[in-house]
Chain A
Amino acid sequence: MILSLAWSDILGINARNQKYLRTPKRALRILDSKLLTKKILKENNLPVLETISVIKTQRELFNFNWEILPTAFALKPNRGLGGEGIIVVYGKKKETAEPTWIKAIGVLVTKREIESHVLDILDGNFSMFSLPDVAFFEERAKIIKELKPYSFKGIPDIRVIIYQGIPVMAMLRLPTKESGGRANLHSGGIGVGIDLATGLTTNAIYHQKLIDYYPGTRYFLRGIKTPYFKKILNLAIQIQKILKVSFLGVDIVVDREKGPVVLELNARPGLQIQMANLAGLKGRMERVRGLKLKSEERGVRLAQDLFGGVEEEETEEIFGKKVLGIVEEVEISLPPSESHYKTLAKIDTGAWRTSISLDVAKKIGIENFENGRRVKSSFGEETRPLAPLIFFLKGEKIESEVTLADRSFMKYEMIIGRRDLKNFIVDPSKTKNF
């Protein structure tokens, strides 16, 4: 087992620290401070979450005007590690003697408790080497509705690992009841691998185990479309360009109004992402090592071509259905002879029945149409002749009943409707040259 070649694709901590973490001191100083990171990204016109207020000393805390806090915010330590020390509130309780907020897990938190937490942060309880730290309040991103079913009282984020300017792996991180609104995997979040070409999710891990459904629900975790995925990859590339760090983890949230916003940067991204993608980081990084890029778009394209090449097979594997483009080749069988008539058909999910043109009907010798079946078409209700027909699509035999239409002015001789598409998935972006 240990001697297998596949192991050399997997990135371990030793190799990460010794080979790939060549982060210059200047960049580390920026990355280890959330506020400094935000400042620099903002100067470069990249979207970040707004800082509401920064608290540097106990005095500033005691003079703090609590009225300026919105109903939803996040309290963070500037130099916190791995999401430790972050409090997220999403609502303010009305008419209480002491200002009280509702935490992402539904627990109440009073002003005094928040004060106490700020003191903990200032003391350096969550910072590296226990050094004194700075606390800040930050606006809370608003969850995009597409991802709402997949997160418990928190906001999912997208982690992109980028190496030498090319995104090599990505993962959607979902908060759970257990993770208390945070999306960090070691506090109980779910990691879902993302196919770089399509932005569709692949495998999911929860406590280092592969799962199919969001815990406690029937929400399938595969095949979720990551919103703004291309833009997210582009953003990650831009960030790396600015910071000049060779190996970087970029965390991005998708805000309902602002779209993709940078949440955090990570100089030492975790390695669990490999499990969620069922792919090795080292193998991928070695493939992009030393490639020169002319533009950010090129970086995105390269990543998609290199690490998303198997998306079609994967989708088929996930759904157990074949993927069709808008135009596909079909073979109509011509009983009683063994021969077939080949033509191109348009896949039309707007139509119920498959229809063929009069020309084709003549060519394949169908004459005995059962007349007078009422058929609903986009032109309203009309009467069209129907005929039984057997054809092959992507190797699947389909026994159909097709309508006959005068399609002489149309580009394709055949239209395949929903009735015959039950075993397929249609990807409109998929094109083939016929």
Chain B
Amino acid sequence: MGTEYKINKLDTSGVGPLVDRHWNELREAKDKGMKIAWCSGPMFIYPYATPNIASHFMAGYAAYCGGRGMGDEVLEAAERFGEMRDTCSYHRLHTGMAAMIMNDWPVSNPQVILPTPDLLIGGRFCTEMSHYMEAIHRRFGMKTVTIELPSARSRDDLPRLEKFVTNQVKETLIPAIEEVSGSKFDEENMRNIFRSWKEACIIRNKCWEFFKRKPTPWTLWDYGVSIAPIFYAMGKPESLEYYQDLLKQLEERVEKNIPAVHPDGEKYRLYWDGWLPWSFLGKVLRIMVPHGAIPIAGRYPWEFFSHPDDIDPEADDIIHEWIRLIYTSPNTLSYYDGPWGGQDKIEELIETYSIDGMLFFSSKTCRMWNLGQQEIIDNIEKKYGIPGVVIDGDMIDSTMFAEDQMRTRIEALLETIDARRK
């Protein structure tokens, strides 16, 4: 009889109220005379720093719908409107919500509906983020401002791209936010957000240190849901409080020898590439855990400003500072999102967190993270002798999530790891 593994989740229930507060504030903003901006990509920081305008961001809403089990209804609405399943499910979530609003379609959970925006801010990190903004603009006709944010294919390109993006932000984005909100962009607000956010990221990084431990006291899924405070409560004291509590829990676990996997810790430490499957976190974990396998690290959850010491709230040009963090800072999210940089980042994570195998989650509708995945697996396997497999599905869309296929591939990966251990 083999070991009976069970998961011992960390208490991340503090995330729920933070998330609810964020979306409720957005829903109540118009009653308070504020304007609303919908944002795709990492441009949400600028309306955050401007008075009189509340902002939503695309991936956050998608994770919210997925995590609360509200995604399918909105995706069905999108399809009823004419959207096709080839397109990004985040795109369809937003166009589905827009269709519900436009047609006054009944909705079983009113939380999926957000107030219609006064301003659309398209940060074209991936090309489909632009398509979704364009579609919403065509349907509602509100003011739209779009910023091109290319991910770098080479480190040499980073300075040029950084300058380009900064120029766009100053030239078109800030004036649009000021025009719609009727308020001046507030540099001091932005510095305050940075100060508080930096503190939260420093504590968050201390939590990451616990992933190095064998057995680990927490899993990537515990951290995945804990991404939310960085965004939903960016610059607010709640964010820091959340991570302080998380750190305390982790310290207690280590002190009491409580691993994330009962009874004696994980047997397989896995790397997870791509988006987290927001609607299916539990299902995926239930496939892994009976084998003693858990996800430990991933490129996507590590992209949220992994070098907090480098965040400079006192930078001369605070507008540029955010773009610098995306491009030329050591964090260089823009480079790590691309295939070459992605490989560098994955190697770093594999070495730092003693990874046994790699799962590359390939979304059938979001190809941003899929770029070069099969090449990267091959390269890393050759360099480190660590096996990897691609598992396909979707972050939100349950019609594209085949549990048995995923089980077969994960089990095959674990068998390969076993074979190499012998």
State yes or no: do A and B come from one complex: no
Residue numbers of A with Cβ under 8 A of B are none
Residue numbers of B with Cβ under 8 A of A are none
